Structure 1
């Protein structure tokens, strides 16, 4: 999963909701009072020939400003701040990576369990924030049970099983909400069906990747390309970013960062498809990397839009230095069906 920390530094490509809509002071006037070049004293009385005359360039003040003291050392420039605990972020990221790799290459079913747990926690975070910020009570119990069943169905029965589980989960949400008063029924079930599609259904495509003979390698490529895309966006945007990509949604993201994401992901995709996937070619990797950069960026912007609507910075606090599970799944979820489909088209379902 992507472990790149959010860094709201100058020109960065990260999302900083805290400063998105902050305005202070007038927009088009100088807030520092302007003084006239010369203001004769009013307390003294001068004769007609005694009045001090101002030159055409303005007379200097009788009490000039003192010269700056160059003997004092200049203040040290402020370093760019990451905005998060980098040591905690790296530690958590490494820990998650170990769990993912171990479960992925040791027992496939164990990785399916990892996906199911991530889905349930993500649904809990999303429904919790919806209730806290908007008063929307999407029913968590049918979502959690249906979400886990969706992931398992996708692994066991493929796309057909995933669609059936999605339909049954939506039906369960509609019925479960009937046990409560009718006020707010429509918005609650609408949010519930959206949550079912957004989190578990999209995550099901990761489980479907795993069913191929080279499933672990396909999933690894999916994860690596998403991480590389995020890393390229951060590195290039932090160093060179000047032109905002979507300032109303994510003020930290820049066009330069997007180019970095595309470049890094395409290069990594060419290498991975050529040397990791059987019958894969470098040009397929270029297309795969381009698609991953686009979907990962859209995923980031999509969750940024949700968080901006809710008025929050992070979806949760479960992962120190990262936020919540949903803050790490934002670019992975929409990328999963894209990678699954392109790999099927390029090298078959295997």
Structure 2
């Protein structure tokens, strides 16, 4: 059988300090478009790849900062993506199926399907949505807000990195729940997006605030009931000083810390005691059993225009390293997606 060229993005070596494009290599190998006899794998053509902040932790050798295994230098990077099945030795998937889940940063991958691979049944929305709003980030927003934060109408909600893949959805969920919502982001463009497109009540550019504590007091004179944490460091410190009694903080991520070898500390945890507040971390893949319920809730809201979603699209696998690195400088506006193929 003829072989085809398979463009790939490999990790050059383990990374310390800030991740750079040169830490990844774009190269090509060859592959057959048929599985070997007896294989239980699934051969896919990758269509869209997702750039997500947690991937930075997988570039470290001592992978204590991540909850998934480190990438292997010289091998393709892996992450969430949308793909089309070309050949399958797995009874759950057949040729022609569209799926989302973990795949390789390459044109063609052989994956071993797990409980984190889902068949796509709804194709009346953009397929790229399964890297974001209808995929892992959407589930993250849903679980973190509804399951961890248990919102009540009229509560005061703050979201950091609010224009990102997860934050833009949490804000819209909070508005649907009848809450007052403020988000922080890193540019005027993003702040405008939060207020004018996503319906946040207020938003501010954290880079223009020399005193985060003062900024939060300005937007939340009565304090914060729910904080959806995407940033960490100084932002978390400032939020804790401004929480109300029985506040809930969902620890989703801490992007400000991912490139640091020595992470910044938080200095006012005692506030959680006298405010009887709860701070809880969560991992989305422990909640994937809720995916059918999540789709039931979200699809009608998308179709009725009650929830909108913004993507930042990079065309071509060769632009994937720049897209991934750009996350940590806040270059993306909305969910960062890489298009491998428009098929």
More helix as a share of residues = 1
Bigger Rg, which one: 1
- Place the TM-score, normalised by the shorter chain, in its bin: under 0.3
Tell me which protein shows more strand as a share of its residues. Answer: 2
Q: Which has the higher contact order (CA 8 A, sep 6+)?
A: 1
TM-score (norm 1): 0.23
